[in-house]
Structure 1
Amino acid sequence: MKATLFLRSLGISFLSLSLVVSSCTKQHSEDISLNGQKANKAEGTADVGILATATVDANTVQQTIQGFGGMSVPIWIGDLTADQRTKAFSTSGIGMSILRVMVPTSSSQFAAEKATIDAAKGYGAKVIATAWNAPSSMMDGSYLRASAWGDYAAHLRAYTQAVGGVYALSPWNEPNYLASEWMHGTATEIANFVAAQGDNCGAPIMCPEPFNMDQTFINTYLSNATAKSKTLFVSGHIYGKTPYNLGSIGKSVWMTEHYTNSSISGNDWPNAMNAAKEIHDCMTAGWAAYVWWYIRRFYGPIDENSNITKVGYVMAHFARYVRPGYTKIACSANPSTGVYTTAYKSGSKIVIVAINTNTAVTYQSFSIIGVTVNSFNRYVTTSSSNLAASNFSISNNAFGINLPASSITTLVSN
């Protein structure tokens, strides 16, 4: 605040300051208000400690995005309705492009998954399946018997054949979470199983799906060269862990399960903003996918009354507009205090997602390198609005916009 008063005493506006900071672009940045008109950003703008241009570099390609999705477990909480499937997977709804399902221990329950699987695939979604347990006849306490490996692979294959079109399969769910009631396993054991039986499970393998996205567990698994060669991508869950880059492991990384808070409504806006920041962090860590826990649950993206919640609208800011096959491109991750940005491209199309965690309107300037953009469609969600749409033009690949207080904004180039 003292710095702000000092600047004002000198007659220097925030706009002037932002132009000085971004002078290396030698381009003029306009503040576009929510109605598409120029605005004076010195008024009603947050006093931020850092005010710098977010540079989007389309020439610097990072990970390929595989999608955003959620979990359905009919044998635990009932299947999604037709309306809920449409709201989850269509791009007029949330736009999820990944469905995660459970492999039941009994073949009599395989059909419970199929209706939602078929609907999701109909919208172009990838289906990934995880087994919590092997059939009890193959288990020794909480562990899979080595003598039952072939039988377990046959069980998994029977499931994939029954439901059809499984993109990838995980034989274990959080095998390192020993407090759980589901099947345990060491990284070495799981790698040995995949090396021996990975080709017999009916679908490509996603492994090792550890709790905490435990890198030691992942690295130990990948040290088995045969298992690694039979693994389509690395998967894991971030409970208790801030997303981080796993380094050059030679595999795409998918975050296949998490939720922010199971005791708070999905319509609680601060909680939804936490989800927005979490997805941003996963993408910034270099990961290819983000999968929420239950699709339909009061704390999730769709509630029990089939309404898309605030968490769902936050997910839509990524899932609707950053489609499978888009690539993440270099973008200033935290250009201003409280502002977090990521950017993506498909051909010449650019998508920018900006999250403003500040409690006041915050002006953010942008500069784009590597592709020419003339205008954007803008979608904004706040505590009181959902995907409010507008558009604006830019010049010289530079612009600035006011980000509403506590909001998420997606910009899609035309």
Structure 2
Amino acid sequence: MKTTLFLRTLGMSFLSLSLIISSCVKQQNSKEIVPDKKGNAAEGAADVAIMATATIDANTVQQTIQGFGGMSVPIWIGDLTADQRTKAFSAGSGIGMSILRVMVPTTSSQFAAEKPTIDAAKSYGAKVIATAWNAPSSMMDGLYLRASAWGDYAAHLSAYTQAVGGVYALSPWNEPNYMASGWMHASATEIADFVAAQGNNCGAPIMCPEPFNMDQTFINTYLSNATAKSKTLFVSGHIYGKTPYNLGNIGKSVWMTEHYTNSSISGNDWPNAMNAAKEIHDCMTAGWAAYVWWYIRRSYGPIDENSNITKVGYVMAHFARYVRPGYTKIACPGNPTTGVYTSAYKSGSKIVIVAINTNAAVTYQPFTISGITVNSFNRYVTTSSSNMDSSSLGISNNAFGINLPASSITTLVSN
């Protein structure tokens, strides 16, 4: 009896020990990657191996980036102040916008109103692009430019560019296919005919056709005029009502020259700012060269009416401060992990990675880099409660992983 009891007890002990060992093994195999208190990654080769890696290839070059910017219309909402100009265009202390879009007024007496902000933007190295909503009324029949006034209209545009000290590019029409508007209408063929005949007389290189919803058919029709195409510096358009998409091999760089996400809520609304971040990302992954917001200063814009940079502005800064004109986009998966969106850029031996985490939880994202050697990054993070928080990140063997805070945007700039 004692022998039997002893064996039963011994058997139970072995069973308990087996269960304990099994439990430990199970916990070890189901290990989760947990951020430390600072949000840093628990980094390691084993962890990286089981994650969806974003592989960046610096040797695969895509489009050249021309920049990120916004619009100023002094005759409608007043000019930017000196402080607002610094906050908009300084890459050191501001958003770092490298594009200013302005309106060509219909009367020459209003030309001078544009110049102070144009001069300030240029002093920071920004490109200035100008768009005409309407020709002078004497040149129009209703909302259409008279063909007999083409020469006069080109002279009007040229006079404007001279008055403001020159612009990088000019669009003779704004959303000409938006028939519900109160500004000048035209077909793609009419615009192409005008540019073919008068494009060299407008005082600046032409950007066209700037359609509403980046209408591919409208753009293709315009570009089918070989003479107009040859006089067009780049294709421009707006994405109201349209998700950014690749226009295909059209032989011209594509700039998104106007959009805003929501004019009824504050620029400090974080979900809306994250929508803006995703939209900029989508424009870049569509192969476009530039992203231009609507009003620079507005309650829903990058700078509010109290001259403060908003969350929308900080989100833009994650691109604009560090992805400067002349950088090239390089191969990088746009959506490597559910809810995570990444893009990468380079200039010489420097690379910049922008990662957007739309998930409601911290998400670990591993990366590998080829074609360029990187030893460390400066890291900048913006969340609903922080703006451009900075830290350093060392890496080895061109592979690393980071924890992206919940609902955040992170920019990594190589040293």
The AA in structure 2 aligned to 1:226 is T
Question: Which residue, 5, 11, 18 being the options, matches 2:29?
Answer: 11
For residues 219 and 8 of structure 1, the distance between their equivalents in structure 2, rounded to whole angstroms, comes to 59
Tell me what 2:306 maps to: 305
TM-score, with length taken from structure 2: 0.91
* Residue pairs, 1:34-53, within 5 angstroms: 35=38, 39=42, 51-53=51-53
For residues 8 and 172 of structure 1, the distance between their equivalents in structure 2, rounded to whole angstroms, comes to 66
Tell me what 1:391 maps to: 392
Tell me what 1:67 maps to: 67
* Residue pairs, 1:204-219, within 5 angstroms: 204-219=205-220
- Correspondence 1:132 to 2:133: yes
Deviation at 1:166, TM superposition (A): 0.1
- Correspondence 1:110 to 2:128: no
Instruction: Name the CA shift for 1:33/1:215 in 2 (closer, same or farther; >3 Å).
Output: farther
C-alpha contact 1:51 1:337 (8 A) present in aligned 2: no
The AA in structure 1 aligned to 2:210 is E
Tell me what 1:194 maps to: 195
Deviation at 1:164, TM superposition (A): 1.1
* Residue pairs, 1:167-178, within 5 angstroms: 167-178=168-179
Tell me what 1:343 maps to: 344
For residues 59 and 321 of structure 1, the distance between their equivalents in structure 2, rounded to whole angstroms, comes to 20
Tell me what 2:166 maps to: 165
Deviation at 1:394, TM superposition (A): 0.2
C-alpha contact 1:35 1:390 (8 A) present in aligned 2: no
For residues 247 and 38 of structure 1, the distance between their equivalents in structure 2, rounded to whole angstroms, comes to 39
User: Helix, strand or coil: the match of 2:96?
Assistant: coil
Tell me what 1:203 maps to: 204
C-alpha contact 2:43 2:402 (8 A) present in aligned 1: no
**Cα deviation digits, residues 161-187 of structure 1 (max 9, x gap):** 000120000000000000000000000
C-alpha contact 2:355 2:411 (8 A) present in aligned 1: yes
C-alpha contact 1:36 1:392 (8 A) present in aligned 2: no
* Residue pairs, 1:15-414, within 5 angstroms: 35=38, 39=42, 51-91=51-91, 92-414=93-415
User: Helix, strand or coil: the match of 1:378?
Assistant: strand
User: Helix, strand or coil: the match of 1:240?
Assistant: coil
Deviation at 1:109, TM superposition (A): 0.1
C-alpha contact 1:34 1:402 (8 A) present in aligned 2: no
C-alpha contact 1:61 1:330 (8 A) present in aligned 2: yes
In structure 2, runs of 5+ residues without a counterpart are 1-24
Deviation at 1:392, TM superposition (A): 1.3
C-alpha contact 1:33 1:402 (8 A) present in aligned 2: no
C-alpha contact 2:39 2:403 (8 A) present in aligned 1: no
Tell me what 2:7 maps to: none
For residues 129 and 51 of structure 1, the distance between their equivalents in structure 2, rounded to whole angstroms, comes to 46
Deviation at 1:254, TM superposition (A): 0.1
For residues 347 and 166 of structure 2, the distance between their equivalents in structure 1, rounded to whole angstroms, comes to 26
Relative contact order, higher structure (CA 8 A, sep 6+): 1
For residues 395 and 128 of structure 1, the distance between their equivalents in structure 2, rounded to whole angstroms, comes to 43
Instruction: Name the CA shift for 1:84/1:8 in 2 (closer, same or farther; >3 Å).
Output: farther
For residues 60 and 38 of structure 1, the distance between their equivalents in structure 2, rounded to whole angstroms, comes to 28
User: Helix, strand or coil: the match of 1:265?
Assistant: coil
Deviation at 1:40, TM superposition (A): 7.3
For residues 298 and 276 of structure 1, the distance between their equivalents in structure 2, rounded to whole angstroms, comes to 18
**Cα deviation digits, residues 354-391 of structure 1 (max 9, x gap):** 00000000000000010000000000000000000000
The AA in structure 1 aligned to 2:109 is S
C-alpha contact 1:36 1:390 (8 A) present in aligned 2: no
User: Helix, strand or coil: the match of 1:58?
Assistant: strand
For residues 340 and 58 of structure 2, the distance between their equivalents in structure 1, rounded to whole angstroms, comes to 20
For residues 38 and 215 of structure 1, the distance between their equivalents in structure 2, rounded to whole angstroms, comes to 43
For residues 250 and 37 of structure 2, the distance between their equivalents in structure 1, rounded to whole angstroms, comes to 43
For residues 211 and 302 of structure 1, the distance between their equivalents in structure 2, rounded to whole angstroms, comes to 25
For residues 36 and 395 of structure 1, the distance between their equivalents in structure 2, rounded to whole angstroms, comes to 19
Percent of aligned pairs with the same amino acid: 87
The AA in structure 1 aligned to 2:30 is I
The AA in structure 2 aligned to 1:287 is W
Instruction: Name the CA shift for 1:254/1:407 in 2 (closer, same or farther; >3 Å).
Output: same
For residues 271 and 37 of structure 2, the distance between their equivalents in structure 1, rounded to whole angstroms, comes to 22
The AA in structure 2 aligned to 1:13 is K
For residues 34 and 287 of structure 1, the distance between their equivalents in structure 2, rounded to whole angstroms, comes to 38
**Cα deviation digits, residues 35-72 of structure 1 (max 9, x gap):** 4865379xxx9xxxx94001111000000000000000
Instruction: Name the CA shift for 1:83/1:11 in 2 (closer, same or farther; >3 Å).
Output: same
TM-score, with length taken from structure 1: 0.91
| Aligned alpha-carbon RMSD (Å) | 1.7
Instruction: Name the CA shift for 1:76/1:375 in 2 (closer, same or farther; >3 Å).
Output: same
In structure 1, runs of 5+ residues without a counterpart are 1-6, 16-30
C-alpha contact 1:33 1:401 (8 A) present in aligned 2: no
C-alpha contact 1:169 1:204 (8 A) present in aligned 2: yes
Instruction: Name the CA shift for 1:37/1:234 in 2 (closer, same or farther; >3 Å).
Output: closer
C-alpha contact 1:339 1:354 (8 A) present in aligned 2: yes
**Cα deviation digits, residues 209-254 of structure 1 (max 9, x gap):** 0000000000000000000000000000000000000000000000
For residues 377 and 61 of structure 2, the distance between their equivalents in structure 1, rounded to whole angstroms, comes to 21
Instruction: Name the CA shift for 1:329/1:179 in 2 (closer, same or farther; >3 Å).
Output: same
The AA in structure 1 aligned to 2:175 is E
Deviation at 1:34, TM superposition (A): 7.8
For residues 12 and 376 of structure 1, the distance between their equivalents in structure 2, rounded to whole angstroms, comes to 30
